[in-house]
Chain A
Amino acid sequence: MEQVETAPYSETRRMQLRGLILLSSEIISQYWPMRTFVHHNPLHGLEDLHFEDAVRRGHQLLGGKGYLSNELFRGYVRSGRIRPHHIDAALKTLVHDKHVALGAREISHFEVLRAHLLQGITAPAEETLDAQINRRPDRTLIKTLADHLTPALNPPAIRENLEAGVHEERTALGRRSTLAAWCDYTLGSQIMDQINGESIKWCEAFLDEGHATWPMPGRENGFYGAWKFLAEQEWSPCGIADSRQKIAGLPTSPEDALLEHLAALGIPSEVWQDYLSLHLAALPGWAGFIKWRADQSDYEWQQVYPVDLVQYLAVRVWYERELVQKVCREALGIDGNFGAISADMQRRGSPKGRPSAHSAREGEAHPALPDEGATRAPLNRYAAQFGPRRDHTTQLAAAWRLRTLANALEIAPDVLMETAPQELRVLLEWIDAFSESDHGPVWLKAFEAGYQEQLIGKLRPNLSNLQAAVKDGQRVVRPQAQAIFCIDVRSESFRRHLEAVGDYDTFGFAGFFTVFIRYRALGSHHDTDQFPVIMKAKNAVREVPRTYHGQLLSRHQAGTKLLHAGHELLHDLKENVVTPYVAVESLGWFYSLPLIGKTVFPDWYRKWTVRLRRIFVPPVATSLTVDKLSRDEVEEMLAAEQRATIRRALQERFGDRDLNLSLERLEALRRRALDEQSADQQSPQAPSRSYALSAGEEAAFVEELRRHYRINQGWAFTRMERITQTGFTLSEQAFTVETALRMMGLTRNFARLVLFCGHGSSSDNNPFEAALDCGACGGNVGKPNARVLAAMANKPRVREQLANKGLSIPQDTYFIAGQHDTTTDEVQLFDLEDLPATHLKDLLRLSRDLEEAGLHNSQERCSRFPEIKTTLTPSRAARETRRRSGDWSQVRPEWGLSGNAAFIIGRRDLTRGVHLEGRVFLHSYDHGEDPTGRLLEIVMTGPQVVGQWINMEHYFSTVDNEVYGSGSKIYHNVVGRVGIVSGPQSDLRTGLAWQTVMDGPRPYHEPMRLLTLIEAPRERISQVIRRHHVLQHFYDNEWVRLAALDPEEKIFYRYIPKQGWTPFKNGSPSLETKMFLKEEHSL
């Protein structure tokens, strides 16, 4: 056993290590807890690379595919979803102007690539080739063709091949595979499984946020400390000898420990970054969650139980160090470190394990582990197969491909036999140079081009409307009402239906309505952050009951308390060693009610539980604390409250005595309780009446006030702080309203009613429920934000200030708040108590129309659910969506944001009346209102970024649901109240579920990069791009496709990366092709 190095490392080295880990963690992206599901790009850290490079890197490290399979794309071609001319255009970038003469025909490079793309001219896997050829009717032809090809094909000699293999494996070691992975691959051990298993075990235990009743002890020492403390006492489950002594000997600082491990493994310092990336990428979910936690310095769990990636790696690499050492000693008799393994490879002179580990099947970054012992035999057989057999296979494979190519190009097979082998070889080289794994980017471009063409085509007819609107300047007729919805793709169809049922103007705006609040609902004990996760909170808002609900309120509170007590009671009885048994025996039968009710009579059951709940906990009307109180006001408020408490306390304690409950007396007591130092001096100054309390009693009472009734300085200070953070000042309010209205372009022609409509969802038994809520509100419902904004905009004093700034809102315009339930399409309106009586009729009309629009929207949405084959009537559709929202077995309560493909920033006139299929984010923006481009900048760097996150989350979850998505919901298992794993133990699954993006085996979500279309002068857009790196990354690295509609010329332009603008042409495919040719030059 090697002596553990005890010399501590210098602080500089630790700093360097931390910086290195920061770099190596780029490959994994942060993961927010599932309570507020945040759609994120799983390759977010790589956005400074080009999209295709990032996909490649993701494939290398995480093993995820970056594009749909070629088979699926070919299916799209067959179904007409991808049009031939788009394929041609996308291929143009790769084509050389070369030809090969096959008989009478000249075959161009382009034709070969196209045939390869469309037909997949790849021979079957080497092992299956013989069997496959024997099943073909034209097997003799292929075999003759193979013989014909012999002179042209000279595969590299075996020795060279072996040497290349060794070389490749040696360079890959440390960069593309860890020592543990190498051992697994070549020695048939299962170290990676063991390391992952242990890492998951400790992560689950440490990162648990209140699930386990018996939590991990020692967590306050941080992840590494807690692990060290516990693992020191553990019998090593993976069989490391003397593990307890070894762990006890580790340094206390995780940095030192990690440095020590790396030194023991002998990893050269120049590959550390790659090496640690590999380790982080092994469990991207847990590592991503830790990465998020480490950034949240004010997160309660992080404050108490700190964790970061250094600590995680320090634990992880320790297991690798010990296990690699153990396995290498046992199997090879060498030390388990980089140098020894590399030297061993060199000495043996042949790559071990499966043949050509990294060359033959580059498609597998995480190769399936071969069975133990199964490793050696294939090696022997492989050696035997080398030589003639291998050459033969190469020839057969070549013949197969040529035969397929000839079929695809409709060339008679005899022509092949007549052509010189060298010519045929050129064809084969062309095919080889464009391997099937390179097809993805081409397909994607063609796929996107089709959608873009379709979208632009749909919008074109509306260009004339645009002209009219600009000329008029101001419309004379006021619309029936105006409604502002979230930019969410689900709002698009709802808006369309609402506009269809009445004369409504609708707007799209990020669902948090620029109201940055930490919100606390009535009866809740925690805040939610109601803003996009990329921003910070400014103000707090609380929901408080309205004043007129005395009796009802107390019933409400009592009911809530009772329910809470019931839940806690059940929990305590279940989570115990002794009590669950009798509890189950006596209460178990009652569970037959929900079990049968939810399964057999779901509607009925839900209705009755809601009704029962309403009886127990009657709902009360509430309002929000929008206004900020001044400090004096708060102090006065607090004092009154405390005096009341003291009065109550006095009566409780000494109720039988003749008490002096005068204000002065209470105030004196209050001051005494608050002013803890001068308590003794104050008492003599008190009024001289007898109070029925002796001095001793009084001192004890004051003490009790401080302790028990929380009348003390600290508590008062906290309350003060909290209250003064609550609400907005008048100027803040005016600013918020102005920003919101100007950004959405609603600055004149206000209707009598203006609806701010947030959105939320309702589903049962669905861990992904937050993913269906408003992403702009940080995965929460948008109700509070809408209510706050409406309340602000209704304030006369706010409107006064706005008028001063040139934004005059008519006297009779009234703002109301609402929330669209995206699952059931019902819209709920709030704070109607404040509505002036003059607006009642408008309100009635609005709510009726909202209801009707909801019905139609449900109908449209139902047609997209795979299991509904017929077109439902609106009312039946509404019943169906309601049923889905309460069905505890429903894996797909709604499609959510699936299908999203474009982001349009512009006036509604551009999109009004166009059926966009619920695939487009719509952000209202009037370029005329924004001469400086400031508002556009906000839209492009705020909502658009969120849109890109959502888009990329869906994209990657669809193209590789196992790696980037979270697999089927059937196996999901909620862990630690923060996320889900698959089955009993797995990595934290961070993406979207299979059922969210896939419809059976086919993707429902069409994975394509977001197309942002901005209606604004091109120069203004370019300026904004120049100012922001994130936007440059988006457009120049092709994470987002950008297009612009020039408001003057009425021409659509597309943005060519790093180059500039070029007009979209409408019309024939040939023109389109030219357009793509331009793109070729730019690349």
Chain B
Amino acid sequence: MNRLAPLYGLSPTTLHLVFAIGAMTALLGAGMMLTQNDIKKTLGYSTIGQMGYMIMECGLGAFALAVFHLIAHGLFKATIFLNCGHVIHAARQEPRLPPKDETVEQTDFSLLTWLTGFITTLILPLIILLAAHGVLSLPLRNSQGVVIFLFFSWVTSSQAILTLYRLRAVASRKVAALMLLTLLLVVSTYLLAVQAFTYFLYPAPGEVAAYFQAAALPRWLFDVMVGATALAVILGWVFIYAKGHGRSLRMPDWVNGVQTRFYLFFMNRLYVDALALRLGRGFTRVAHRLDTSRLFPYVAGLIALGLVLPAAVWTGELSAANITLFFVAALMIPLFPLHGVYVAALTRLPGYLPMCLAILLPTVGLYGLMGLLPEMPAEFLKGVSVLALFGALYGSLKALVQFRVTRLLAYASLAFFSILWWYLAVTGTSTPQAAVYTSAVALVIGGLFLAWHRVQVRYGDLDLNQIGGLARPMPRFAILLSLLVMAAVGLPPFGLFSGYMAILLHPSIVISWDLMVILLTWLAASWYLFRLMQRLLFGPHRSDIRYEDLRPTEVAPLLIVLLILLALGITPYGFFESDALTNSYRTAMELMLWNK
């Protein structure tokens, strides 16, 4: 966000949105942090809150401050996180006791003590802060942001004094004065550091101020916010201060009720986990139901037919030879609803054949298509693209519910190649990008088939739920498989990633719902492929199977596949292309690749 600060600075609305999101995250994160009962969740949610605060700072235009916070927080949280085991030591040194209901009835209400308390804990820090700000020449002076930061610092220092008061550590006035002085010192060094840091990051004069200007909220909203928060702080102070003095304020029942609700809300972590889990379960259940129902493939086929029927009219413009060629290609590069042959070839054939076919068929198919594409009528291609999108969804859905590894991989490649079809249909040409993508997918699928074949040879044709926990007995296999899966879900630096990038960044691709489907397919692929890996490598271990790791001769071909994928991924695009593309596009591509 910091690198894009100039961009954000141009859009106040975006900044306001960022501010709102950040502030919400900070508050919710802190709320959830307070209700967690174990150290790591506490720290996790506290980190969420801190991240929210940084985003909020960005939303206020204080980009430099966010970076400052990032570093400080990194050091702080890393130390605490690494020292997690210390909690038991602390608990041994000072076990906590349950909070007692100390109802020490203190009848004397002296306005004076309250006033002194009010002044020392609320007003004085405010004055100090204002004074410190006045001394400095930060660009954030005279902006709204300063008020927000002042607010946070004010509450923090008040809380600090309140704590010291509660502990009766500030016994004498001298000590109290000393504390305030220290506070002044801390605040000014802190502000100085921030100032120095800001100038260090944004040396250009006026730049920072411009961000603050851009981030300014509407006047009335800002005033309301300031008023409301100040009121809340003062009320909260009264409550805490009274409690510290052994006086329990009677809370109306509805307040307690709201408090309990909030507690539940935060303890259940906003119900997000439960919701995600239920959604996931519901979705898989639906997917399974669809998969097992006999009607589904026919219905899907009919829908697809309905979708492409208008396009089919245009096949008349093609010669019979071209149509045949197209159909053959669609069999080799699986295109819904003609994928059956491809899937059958990969799942039914014995030995190394599926692996070889997984690599050979698509590449040959693409070669055949290359000449054909320019001759296709645009309307026909449109139909094909719709079909491809449908096929991508269909393939993902099927892959999601498979427990036979070969079928899972076959349907996964259907989804992958549907993306290719869509790309070919949309661009209407076969570019080097398509070739890179095709070979990457073919290699990935072939590699996975090969890896699975080695397992099959050892343990027979097992389902996913019959074998698992291979990470420990078969470490070499585990590493290779996980690398292959990484490649398959499209992570850099493997070829599939650059293939995706090349396809998605092609100049003729415009933002549309199609992209949504492509992204969904990609996400689904990472879902089922990661599940495949997780089950195979870390699933329940069976003690009645004799495990045996890969031998070097088995490792070699897999390694070669991975190396080629790597090479595909890191080769600059210029290497593949003729001169079809413009120079500027090429630079954009390379930049994109190397910056990832």
Interface residues of chain A, those whose CB is within 8 Å of chain B, are: 34-36, 69, 122, 124-125, 127-132, 135, 190, 201, 204-205, 208-218, 229-230, 233-235, 237-239, 300-301, 304-305, 361, 363, 368, 370-374, 376-378, 524-526, 561-562, 564-565, 568-569, 572-589, 591-592, 594-595, 598, 707, 764-770, 888-889, 972-978, 981, 984
Contact indicator A975/B37 (Cβ below 8 Å): yes
**Main SS class of interface, B:** helix
Contact A130-B186, Cβ < 8 Å, known A210-B96, A214-B263, A373-B284: no
The residue on B at minimum CB distance from A71 is B543
Contact indicator A974/B87 (Cβ below 8 Å): yes
Measured CA separation A224–B535 after assembly (Å): 38
In the complex, B465 has a CB within 8 A of chain A: yes
Q: Which residues of A contact B71 (CB under 8 A)?
A: 588-589
Contact indicator A35/B79 (Cβ below 8 Å): no
Measured CA separation A972–B38 after assembly (Å): 10
In the complex, B98 has a CB within 8 A of chain A: yes
Contact stretch, chosen from B42-50, B219-227, B309-317, B438-446 = B42-50
Interface string of B72-99 (1 = CB under 8 A from A): 1111101110111111111111111111
The residue on A at minimum CB distance from B263 is A217
Expressed in whole angstroms, the minimum distance between the Cβ of A191 and any Cβ of chain B is: 12
Task: Give 7 nearest A-B pairs by CB, closest first.
Answer: A588-B72, A210-B96, A368-B540, A237-B274, A131-B460, A373-B288, A975-B38
Contact stretch, chosen from B265-273, B369-377, B383-391 = B265-273
* Cross-chain pairs A/B with CB under 8 angstroms, 12 sampled: A34-B88, A135-B458, A234-B264, A237-B271, A371-B535, A374-B464, A562-B169, A572-B163, A576-B34, A584-B50, A768-B88, A973-B38
Contact indicator B76/A587 (Cβ below 8 Å): yes
Contact stretch, chosen from B5-13, B24-32, B332-340, B413-421 = B24-32
Contact indicator A35/B37 (Cβ below 8 Å): no
Measured CA separation A578–B84 after assembly (Å): 23
Contact A373-B401, Cβ < 8 Å, known A125-B542, A586-B190, A591-B76: yes
The residue on B at minimum CB distance from A980 is B88
Q: Which residues of B contact A211 (CB under 8 A)?
A: 36-39, 42, 87
Q: Which among A127, A301, A580, A974 is the interface contact of B98 at CB below 8 angstroms?
A: A301
Contact indicator B50/A977 (Cβ below 8 Å): no
Q: Please indicate which of the listed interface residues A233, A572, A582 has the most CB atoms of chain B within 10 Å of its own CB.
A: A582
Q: Which among B74, B79, B83, B268 is the interface contact of A234 at CB below 8 angstroms?
A: B268
Contact indicator A135/B457 (Cβ below 8 Å): yes
Q: Which residues of A contact B80 (CB under 8 A)?
A: 591
Expressed in whole angstroms, the minimum distance between the Cβ of B116 and any Cβ of chain A is: 17
Measured CA separation A663–B367 after assembly (Å): 112
Measured CA separation A573–B465 after assembly (Å): 49
Contact A974-B88, Cβ < 8 Å, known A305-B98, A377-B403: yes
The residue on B at minimum CB distance from A571 is B163
Interface positions of B from 256 to 308, Cβ below 8 Å from A: 256, 259-261, 263-264, 266-268, 271, 273-274, 278, 281, 284-285, 288, 291-292
Q: Which among A230, A300, A594 is the interface contact of B264 at CB below 8 angstroms?
A: A230
Contact stretch, chosen from B153-161, B504-512, B566-574 = B153-161
Contact indicator A769/B163 (Cβ below 8 Å): no
Q: Which residues of B contact A205 (CB under 8 A)?
A: 35, 37, 267
Contact indicator B73/A584 (Cβ below 8 Å): yes
The residue on A at minimum CB distance from B282 is A239
Contact indicator B156/A573 (Cβ below 8 Å): yes
Measured CA separation A214–B31 after assembly (Å): 9
Q: Which residues of B contact A592 (CB under 8 A)?
A: 75
Contact indicator A125/B544 (Cβ below 8 Å): yes
Contact indicator B456/A131 (Cβ below 8 Å): yes
Contact A581-B53, Cβ < 8 Å, known A135-B457, A300-B97, A372-B281: yes
In the complex, B40 has a CB within 8 A of chain A: yes
In the complex, B492 has a CB within 8 A of chain A: no
Contact indicator B69/A576 (Cβ below 8 Å): no
Measured CA separation A562–B41 after assembly (Å): 30
Contact indicator A767/B53 (Cβ below 8 Å): no
Expressed in whole angstroms, the minimum distance between the Cβ of B542 and any Cβ of chain A is: 7
Interface residues of chain B, those whose CB is within 8 Å of chain A, are: 26-27, 30-31, 33-42, 44, 46, 49-50, 53, 65, 68-69, 71-76, 78-80, 82-100, 104, 106, 149, 152-153, 155-156, 159-160, 162-164, 166-167, 169, 186-187, 190, 193, 256, 259-261, 263-264, 266-268, 271, 273-274, 278, 281, 284-285, 288, 291-292, 401, 403, 456-466, 468, 535, 539-540, 542-546
Measured CA separation A526–B463 after assembly (Å): 58
Contact indicator B49/A580 (Cβ below 8 Å): yes
Q: Which residues of B contact A216 (CB under 8 A)?
A: 263, 267
Measured CA separation A304–B74 after assembly (Å): 39
Q: Which residues of A contact B42 (CB under 8 A)?
A: 211-212
Measured CA separation A217–B26 after assembly (Å): 23
Contact indicator A374/B403 (Cβ below 8 Å): yes
Contact indicator B159/A579 (Cβ below 8 Å): yes
Contact A374-B98, Cβ < 8 Å, known A124-B545, A212-B37, A580-B30: no
Contact indicator A35/B264 (Cβ below 8 Å): no
Contact indicator B274/A577 (Cβ below 8 Å): no
Q: Please indicate which of the listed interface residues B149, B285, B459 has the most CB atoms of chain A within 10 Å of its own CB.
A: B459
The residue on B at minimum CB distance from A230 is B264
Contact indicator B167/A35 (Cβ below 8 Å): no
Measured CA separation A239–B543 after assembly (Å): 36
Measured CA separation A575–B284 after assembly (Å): 39
Contact indicator A595/B82 (Cβ below 8 Å): yes
Q: Which residues of A contact B535 (CB under 8 A)?
A: 371
Measured CA separation A217–B39 after assembly (Å): 20
The residue on A at minimum CB distance from B157 is A582
Contact indicator B464/A974 (Cβ below 8 Å): no
Q: Which residues of B contact A131 (CB under 8 A)?
A: 456-461
Measured CA separation A974–B38 after assembly (Å): 6
The residue on B at minimum CB distance from A969 is B85
The residue on B at minimum CB distance from A578 is B155
Measured CA separation A300–B96 after assembly (Å): 10
Contact indicator B463/A568 (Cβ below 8 Å): no
Contact indicator B403/A585 (Cβ below 8 Å): no
Contact indicator A209/B95 (Cβ below 8 Å): yes
Expressed in whole angstroms, the minimum distance between the Cβ of A521 and any Cβ of chain B is: 9
Q: Which residues of A contact B260 (CB under 8 A)?
A: 217-218, 229-230, 233
Contact A368-B39, Cβ < 8 Å, known A233-B264, A591-B75: no
Q: Which residues of A contact B459 (CB under 8 A)?
A: 127-128, 131-132
Q: Which residues of A contact B34 (CB under 8 A)?
A: 212-214, 575-577
Expressed in whole angstroms, the minimum distance between the Cβ of A305 and any Cβ of chain B is: 6
Measured CA separation A78–B262 after assembly (Å): 62
Q: Which residues of B contact A233 (CB under 8 A)?
A: 260-261, 264
Contact indicator B164/A569 (Cβ below 8 Å): yes
Expressed in whole angstroms, the minimum distance between the Cβ of B283 and any Cβ of chain A is: 11
Apart from A370-B465, A373-B285, A582-B149, list 9 A-B contacts with CB within 8 A: A128-B545, A211-B87, A215-B99, A525-B94, A573-B159, A579-B152, A587-B72, A588-B73, A591-B76
Q: Which residues of B contact A574 (CB under 8 A)?
A: 46
Q: Which among A135, A372, A581, A976 is the interface contact of B37 at CB below 8 angstroms?
A: A976
Measured CA separation A210–B186 after assembly (Å): 30
Measured CA separation A569–B104 after assembly (Å): 24
Q: Please indicate which of the listed interface residues B65, B75, B458 has the most CB atoms of chain A within 10 Å of its own CB.
A: B75
Contact indicator B75/A595 (Cβ below 8 Å): yes
Contact indicator A974/B84 (Cβ below 8 Å): yes
Measured CA separation A564–B89 after assembly (Å): 15
Q: Which residues of A contact B166 (CB under 8 A)?
A: 568
Contact indicator B83/A888 (Cβ below 8 Å): yes
Measured CA separation A301–B156 after assembly (Å): 31
Q: Which among B156, B263, B291, B457 is the interface contact of A583 at CB below 8 angstroms?
A: B156
Contact A212-B278, Cβ < 8 Å, known A130-B460, A565-B169, A580-B49: no
Expressed in whole angstroms, the minimum distance between the Cβ of A616 and any Cβ of chain B is: 14
Measured CA separation A569–B166 after assembly (Å): 10
The residue on A at minimum CB distance from B56 is A581
Q: Which among A125, A573, A584 is the interface contact of B72 at CB below 8 angstroms?
A: A584
Contact A888-B152, Cβ < 8 Å, known A588-B73, A976-B38: no
